[in-house]
Chain A
Amino acid sequence: MLGSVKMTTIKQLPEVLINQIKAGEVVERPAAVVKELVENALDAGARRVVVELEQGGLRRILVRDDGRGIPREELPLALARHATSKIASLDDLERVASLGFRGEALASILAVSRLSLSSRTAVEPHGWRLGGEGGLASAEPVPAAQAQGTAVEVLDLFFSTPARRKFMKSPGTEARHVETALRRLALARPDVAFALSHDGRRLLDVEPAEDAAANERRLAAVCGAEFLANAIYREAELGGLRLAGWIALPSFSRAQPDLQFLTVNGRGVRDRLLGAALRRAYADALHSTRHPAFVLALTLDPAAVDVNVHPQKTEVRFREAARVHDFLFGLVHRWLRELRPEPEHHHGVGFGSAAEPAREPQPYALPLSTAPRLGEPPGRYFAAPAASAPTWAGLAEVSRAAVPAPPGATSPVEHPLGYAVAQLHGIFILAQNARGLIVVDMHAAHERVLYERYKRELAEGGVPSQALLAPVLVNLPEDEAEAAETQSATLLAAGLQVDRSGPGQLLVRATPALLPSEAVVDLLRQVLGRSSDSGSHAHLGEVLDAQHRVLAEMACKAAIKANRVMSLSEMNALLRDMEQTELAGQCNHGRPTWVQVELAELDRLFLRGR
């Protein structure tokens, strides 16, 4: 009832209320409390972090670490708002390397719960505790039994803000949120042990990863063995930016974006720009309703990132957003496109019992960064970034110009997709390779082969562009017109010729010949709008993407249809084409084009070798 607001005088809010309001930003649910406390533990140099929950964390949250600890005299200060040991000046804030820096977490949690803080540094004979039963921040610390490190116990979260408490879901749901938050942290810090229990039940227990193999074991524990079996590890560094991690094959897509872990300088983030870059990198290989899975760590100079954007610090801002976008998109795009059929790494069909992870312990012993997959020439993935000139335009070109290796170069011994033996119902090609049976959806496979060829032609031959008789005038916000003007070369390369004719006016003089010209104006508005939203010109690439969609339709129409009888030599030729085609594992709509049926799986069907 807006109309019935009472006229009251302006007055300063009491400190307690300020803290409770502030706490609303930082701690919205138990998972946020855990995240803040665990980040503190990590910033204190913990090697092991233990989290215990009761009733989803609403009754009790305990976070214990073995970090440096807090000296007795600093304990009261630790609970005060805007008190931190992590930064001391504006200069520190601009290049903050620790996870926390706001000095708000403990004070915020204290405002909405009964909190006790126990800690012991290496030089103290015993620990000290502050708070606890009826204890407040102003009270004197009392001696406490405590190993080196810090333990924070949060009881009755939101007891003082019943409204917030009503928004909490069931304990099970809240515990799941805590688990997700902790998994994110565990992925970001493979060198730290994490344990989580809920009402006495173990939910997560991972040891520090000493080597790459242990790291993969952790990954399997956190993301599931299936993710690991369908993901590839890649890393690359260019011009001060470093990206490392696992990207799932497009065939391992998810209905929800629940396996997307991206850290920026060790901080888990959900950034729209970076998310868009990854989505675009996968776009050609995934159906639009599916989500890619990845665990990636981006590392760059802390001074080039602003983490002080959001109280929960899940959003970041980059000094050179477009550069970061292009780096991420370019690399992942290239990594995906460098994949060639490798039956060893392809999802099996799983006749009932094939669900167990396909991996044996031995491969873990290989150093990760150089682990070659079967049939790959070593060093192929990592040679490019070092060799290519450190220009950002160059990065995209490398990926586009990635010419398939000549026949036979990939594997001198055997073709990964084997040799055709028969055609099934005019729909599938059956082929055999050393590992067993390969089943290929011939339409889907041919469609991808054609699509990639069409795209290559478009890239090599220059994008055809049809001039308009009379230029079309487009009215836009001024910043968008400005963006179009400064990026006119990019647009021209995509077949769109625009001139600026006024502060908020563009003249479209030529449009991509592949697109109906009236659709182009809408497309231009969209990409410019999105570019100005995200503050980067990265979205201009979508003008080209729209033309690729037309090519995809053409490829679908031109590809062989069901019931087309194929000779063995035709089928073999298609298999060879697939081996050299980028993203050959998926058709243009994201459906798989082939599956491997292992001999072992067939054996199982017939109860052989038991």
Chain B
Amino acid sequence: MHIRHVRNELLGALQTVVGVVERRQTLPILSNVFLEARDAELVVRATDLEIEMEVSTPVQNLKPGKVTAPARKLYDILRGLSEGAEVSFEIAEEGRMLVRSGKSRFTLATLGAEEFPSLAGIQADTQVTLTHKALRSLIERVSFAMAQQDVRYYLNGMLLHIGPQWVRAVATDGHRLAMSELALETGVKEDLQIILPRKAVLELARLLDGGDAEVTLSIGGGQIQVQLLNLRITSKLIDGRFPDYERVIPDSQDRRVLGQREKVRAALSRAAILSNEKFRGVRLQLEPDLLRIQTQNPEREEAEEEVEVELDGEPMEIGFNVTYLLDALDAMKTENFVLELRGPDASGLLFEAGESTHSKYVVMPMRL
């Protein structure tokens, strides 16, 4: 293999895939990136056995061939070279890869390209097409609620529930839940539920732009594949049963608070400074036309904020983890929001006020 190309393009390709390479590896080849020169392209592929990303970029192909080289190091080298410099990759003696640019020379150790693992080609049973913007919005509105390294492995990801008329994204960590719905003629006959692993969700969020270009999700055989221009993401799905989210979302509550999202958000984040750093408890006192926010930390420091809101229903007091409230408010876009409550021991429901958007946020209370 011998290719030549400008540094920026090569760096861009590597940057796209290097995120899936785990820093610590027991399987040495997984810290490498797969490189193949074919036709007028360089294919760059990285995997952690759960997710695989493959990007292709046009290059000057002097000699076809394939190899794997240390991903991080190659990425760092490219990053350190000056912009616009011309770089060449070449397989040299003893299976080493020579990286050259101007007066710089790097010889990298390689491993055989044949042994590089690949997620088997996907058998797509279902295909759903939607815009970049719509998919990105679904992810952005719920991904913060995904669990992280929870023993309930099915929570460490995002549920995509695909019905004939809509697609829903749902995430929960057991204490709060986020759900967003997109109206779409999906073409599926029966409801389909899949759980995307956390890493795939985060990579997708990073790579999707906000445009109207279309993106197709191919689902089948316990895998999902997303094709984005010259980039292909393949991920295994989490094999598990996601909790019945529809049962958790309360339908009617007897207290309704209408507030200005930005004002309440700012007041909560100020009050959060003096909440207990471990469990971030905040006390909400609802009075007619007034929301009082109180926090206290172990040093006995206290914060109190008052924000004007409209309360429909009886006054009450309730405690929450302030992070859960802030995450939900941050994910919203509208000027006003609604918080619906039933009592101090029951869940709170947040959603955007006004035009009927389809995102809902359920937050469980904290007894303080």
Interface residues of A (CB under 8 A from B): 450, 453-454, 457, 461-462, 464-470, 472, 495, 510, 513-514, 517-518, 550-551, 554
Q: Are B174 and A469 in contact (CB under 8 A)?
A: yes
Q: What 0/1 readout, one digit per residue, does chain B (333-368) give for beta carbons within 8 Å of chain A?
A: 000000000000101000000000000001011111
With A468-B364, A513-B321, A517-B175 already in contact, 15 other A-B pairs whose C-beta atoms are closer than 8 Å: A453-B298, A461-B296, A462-B368, A464-B281, A467-B345, A467-B366, A467-B367, A469-B177, A469-B362, A470-B244, A495-B367, A510-B367, A513-B278, A513-B366, A518-B150
**Residue from B151, B244, B347, B368 in contact with A518 in the complex, judged by beta carbons closer than 8 Å:** B151
Q: With A469-B243, A469-B248, A513-B366 in contact, do A464 and B175 touch (Cβ < 8 Å)?
A: no
Q: Are A464 and B279 in contact (CB under 8 A)?
A: yes
Q: Which 4 residue pairs are nearest across A and B when measured between Cβ atoms?
A: A513-B279, A467-B364, A465-B367, A454-B298
For B345, the chain A residues whose CB sits under 8 A away are 467
> In this assembly, does B105 line the interface, its C-beta being within 8 Å of a C-beta of chain A?
no
> In this assembly, does B176 line the interface, its C-beta being within 8 Å of a C-beta of chain A?
yes
> In this assembly, does B294 line the interface, its C-beta being within 8 Å of a C-beta of chain A?
no
Q: With A513-B281, A514-B278, A550-B278 in contact, do A469 and B368 touch (Cβ < 8 Å)?
A: no
Q: With A469-B172, A470-B174, A554-B278 in contact, do A464 and B367 touch (Cβ < 8 Å)?
A: yes
Q: What 0/1 readout, one digit per residue, does chain B (310-344) give for beta carbons within 8 Å of chain A?
A: 00000000010100000000000000000000000
> In this assembly, does B277 line the interface, its C-beta being within 8 Å of a C-beta of chain A?
yes
For B63, the chain A residues whose CB sits under 8 A away are none
Q: Are A517 and B367 in contact (CB under 8 A)?
A: no
Q: Are B176 and A469 in contact (CB under 8 A)?
A: yes
Counting chain B CB atoms within 10 Å of each CB, which of A469, A510, A517, A518 scores highest? A469
Complex Cα distance, B60 from A340, in Å, reads 80
Report A467 CB to chain B, min CB distance, Å: 4
Within 8 A of A (CB), among B52-95: none
**Residue from B174, B243, B248, B366 in contact with A465 in the complex, judged by beta carbons closer than 8 Å:** B366
Residue of B nearest to A522 (CB): B151
**Residue from A469, A472, A513 in contact with B347 in the complex, judged by beta carbons closer than 8 Å:** A469
For B367, the chain A residues whose CB sits under 8 A away are 462, 464-467, 495, 510
Give 18 A-B contacts (CB < 8 Å), ordered by A residue: A454-B298, A462-B368, A464-B276, A464-B319, A464-B368, A466-B366, A467-B175, A467-B365, A468-B174, A468-B175, A469-B362, A470-B248, A495-B367, A510-B367, A513-B281, A513-B366, A514-B278, A517-B174
Complex Cα distance, B367 from A462, in Å, reads 9
For B298, the chain A residues whose CB sits under 8 A away are 450, 453-454, 457, 551, 554
Q: Are B347 and A467 in contact (CB under 8 A)?
A: yes
Q: With A517-B175, A518-B150, A518-B152 in contact, do A466 and B279 touch (Cβ < 8 Å)?
A: yes
Report A464 CB to chain B, min CB distance, Å: 5
**Residue from A453, A466, A518, A550 in contact with B321 in the complex, judged by beta carbons closer than 8 Å:** A466
Residue of B nearest to A517 (CB): B174
Residue of A nearest to B244 (CB): A470
Complex Cα distance, B247 from A466, in Å, reads 19
Report A43 CB to chain B, min CB distance, Å: 56
For B150, the chain A residues whose CB sits under 8 A away are 518
Total A-B pairs in contact (CB under 8 Å)? 69
Residue of B nearest to A456 (CB): B298
Complex Cα distance, B147 from A518, in Å, reads 11
Complex Cα distance, B276 from A550, in Å, reads 12
Counting chain B CB atoms within 10 Å of each CB, which of A453, A461, A472, A513 scores highest? A513
Within 8 A of A (CB), among B275-312: 276-279, 281, 296, 298, 300
For A464, the chain B residues whose CB sits under 8 A away are 276, 279, 281, 319, 366-368
Total interface residues on B, CB under 8 Å, equals 30
Complex Cα distance, B296 from A262, in Å, reads 44
For A550, the chain B residues whose CB sits under 8 A away are 278
Residue of B nearest to A470 (CB): B243
Q: What 0/1 readout, one digit per residue, does chain B (145-164) give for beta carbons within 8 Å of chain A?
A: 00000111000000000000
Report B366 CB to chain A, min CB distance, Å: 5
For A517, the chain B residues whose CB sits under 8 A away are 174-175
Residue of A nearest to B151 (CB): A518
For B276, the chain A residues whose CB sits under 8 A away are 464
Q: What 0/1 readout, one digit per residue, does chain B (242-280) give for beta carbons within 8 Å of chain A?
A: 011001100000000000000000000000000011110
Complex Cα distance, B279 from A465, in Å, reads 9
Report A331 CB to chain B, min CB distance, Å: 28
Report A285 CB to chain B, min CB distance, Å: 20
For B172, the chain A residues whose CB sits under 8 A away are 469
Complex Cα distance, B319 from A466, in Å, reads 9
Counting chain A CB atoms within 10 Å of each CB, which of B174, B281, B298 scores highest? B298
Report B273 CB to chain A, min CB distance, Å: 15
Residue of A nearest to B366 (CB): A466
Report A474 CB to chain B, min CB distance, Å: 13
Complex Cα distance, B174 from A514, in Å, reads 15
Residue of B nearest to A550 (CB): B278
**Residue from B175, B279, B281, B296 in contact with A469 in the complex, judged by beta carbons closer than 8 Å:** B175
For B368, the chain A residues whose CB sits under 8 A away are 461-462, 464
For B243, the chain A residues whose CB sits under 8 A away are 469-470
For B174, the chain A residues whose CB sits under 8 A away are 468-470, 472, 517
For B362, the chain A residues whose CB sits under 8 A away are 469
Complex Cα distance, B244 from A476, in Å, reads 24
Complex Cα distance, B321 from A465, in Å, reads 10
Report A352 CB to chain B, min CB distance, Å: 43
For B281, the chain A residues whose CB sits under 8 A away are 464, 513
For A468, the chain B residues whose CB sits under 8 A away are 174-175, 364
Report A510 CB to chain B, min CB distance, Å: 7
Complex Cα distance, B296 from A296, in Å, reads 42
Complex Cα distance, B347 from A469, in Å, reads 8
For A454, the chain B residues whose CB sits under 8 A away are 298
Residue of A nearest to B150 (CB): A518
Q: Are A466 and B175 in contact (CB under 8 A)?
A: yes
Residue of B nearest to A451 (CB): B298
Q: With A464-B367, A467-B366, A467-B367 in contact, do A514 and B175 touch (Cβ < 8 Å)?
A: no
Residue of A nearest to B176 (CB): A469
Report B340 CB to chain A, min CB distance, Å: 16
Complex Cα distance, B174 from A469, in Å, reads 5
For A518, the chain B residues whose CB sits under 8 A away are 150-152
Complex Cα distance, B281 from A462, in Å, reads 13
For B244, the chain A residues whose CB sits under 8 A away are 470
Report A380 CB to chain B, min CB distance, Å: 27
Complex Cα distance, B161 from A485, in Å, reads 38
Complex Cα distance, B176 from A517, in Å, reads 13
Residue of B nearest to A468 (CB): B174
For B347, the chain A residues whose CB sits under 8 A away are 467, 469
For A469, the chain B residues whose CB sits under 8 A away are 172, 174-177, 243, 248, 347, 362, 364
Report B300 CB to chain A, min CB distance, Å: 8
Complex Cα distance, B296 from A454, in Å, reads 12
Complex Cα distance, B173 from A472, in Å, reads 13
Report B304 CB to chain A, min CB distance, Å: 16
Report A243 CB to chain B, min CB distance, Å: 34
Report B11 CB to chain A, min CB distance, Å: 39
For A457, the chain B residues whose CB sits under 8 A away are 298, 300
Complex Cα distance, B151 from A550, in Å, reads 20
Report A447 CB to chain B, min CB distance, Å: 13
Report A506 CB to chain B, min CB distance, Å: 16
For A472, the chain B residues whose CB sits under 8 A away are 174
For A462, the chain B residues whose CB sits under 8 A away are 367-368
